[in-house]
Amino acid sequence: MIERPEQDSDNPFTASANPYQASTQHEPQKVQRSEKTFWQGLPWIFTKWFLICYVCATPSFFLGLAFTNGTFPSVLGMVVGVLCYVIGYTLLEGTSFVQRILQDRVVRRAVKISYTIRIVFSVAPLLTPLDLFLGIASTTAGRYITMAVYPVGADMPAFFAEEFGPALMFSFTTTIIQGALMNVVLLGFVAVVYGICCLVMDPMKGSTSGTR
């Protein structure tokens, strides 16, 4: 039996009213599949950045404990500050713009190398002088911001350590500022590694394609 063009059918070869019109039968399924894949990969992305951020923050965390005497609001401010970067990195990697950038294998290799070196140096720890320098700068900025919200004319270190609100804000702002400065340094390092990868990987690609 020959089916009419206007008759609905499950046959994918059924003629349509316009033979030159592209079929849209499977387009909604593709959108649903991509969204499902994104939400399935979100826990892995969050876990990955959770481990990376907190491992990289280990030297700064111990320096912060020594500076604030390990009070609860100070520790809470540091933990929440690092968690903000974990959430930010997770949402940023999930965007289509970043996904398109990471499709370049040179960029992907440069990012992996840079963050691997950063993790190794944090565990060693070989970047303690850099963390200390950035910590001094961020501590100074965090103190001025906290004093703008909580004016104090007495002993500032004791005030920041004993009062819950100022201690929490001081620790949180210092963590955010230091993380931002460290990200600027890390972005420059990624750019250097990217340049090296371009010099190394492009000739290898050319030699490999020439031998085929």
Q: Is residue 20 part of a domain?
A: no
Residue 52, in any domain of the structure? yes
| Confidence check: pLDDT of 169 > 70 | yes
Q: pLDDT category, 36, cuts 50, 70, 90?
A: low
Q: According to the model, what pLDDT value does residue 204 have?
A: 52
Q: In this predicted structure, what is the pLDDT of residue 160? A: 55
pLDDT of 31 reads 38
Query: Does some domain include residue 126?
Result: yes
Please report whether residue 160 resides in a domain.
yes
The CB-based long-range contact list for 44-49 (8 Å cut-off, 24+ gap) reads 45/90, 45/93, 45/94, 46/86, 46/87, 46/90, 49/85, 49/86, 49/89, 49/90, 49/93
Residue 24 belongs to a domain: no
150-167 pLDDT, tens digit per residue, is: 776 545 555 555 678 888
Asked whether 164 and 77 are in contact (CB, 8 A), the reply is no
Counted domains in the chain? 1
The Cα–Cα gap between 211 and 48 comes to: 38
Q: Is residue 1 part of a domain?
A: no
Say if 102 falls within a structural domain: yes
Q: Lowest mean pLDDT: which of 34-48, 77-91, 159-173, 176-190?
A: 34-48
Q: Which domain holds residue 122?
A: 43-199
